[in-house]
């Protein structure tokens, strides 16, 4: 076959997109654009989510100190640490002055 003739015939044939009416061609192109933008949005959301996860991991609390096997269990009946006293009738409020608290 003659190569220049084949190339000339290939140039004359329209692509499937060019064969569509203008309204349908616009709809196909808009659908492709929507698909591309959706993919870019998913990539962006993945990047933002990964950044958020890295920030959470970086600011995490230190690991809990677990008791060693064979050590005595902690005393559960002791008062929790903090500003509480043994007398429950005392008023403890950081916003009040000492002369405003009742004894």
pLDDT in the model for residue 58: 85
pLDDT in the model for residue 44: 98
Which structural domain, as residue segments, surrounds residue 45? Answer: 21-58
pLDDT in the model for residue 43: 98
Domain membership of residue 77 (yes or no) is no
Structural domains in the chain (count): 1
Question: Is pLDDT of 29 > 80?
Answer: yes
Q: How far apart are CA 8 and CA 17, in angstroms?
A: 20
pLDDT in the model for residue 17: 84
Domain membership of residue 102 (yes or no) is no
Question: Is pLDDT of 26 > 90?
Answer: yes
Q: What percent of the chain has pLDDT over 70?
A: 64
Decide which of 11 and 50 is more confident.
50
Q: Are 92 and 85 in contact (CB under 8 A)?
A: yes
């Amino acid at each position: 076959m003659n190569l220049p003739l084949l190339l000339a015939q290939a140039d004359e044939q329209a692509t499937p997109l060019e064969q569509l009416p203008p309204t349908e061609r616009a709809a196909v192109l808009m659908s492709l654009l929507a698909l591309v933008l959706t993919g870019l949005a998913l990539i962006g959301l993945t990047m933002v989510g990964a950044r958020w996860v890295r920030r959470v991991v970086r600011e995490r609390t230190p690991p809990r100190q677990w008791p060693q096997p064979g050590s005595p269990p902690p005393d559960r009946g002791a008062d929790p640490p903090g500003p509480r006293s043994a007398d429950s009738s005392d008023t403890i409020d950081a916003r009040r002055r000492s002369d405003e608290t009742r004894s």
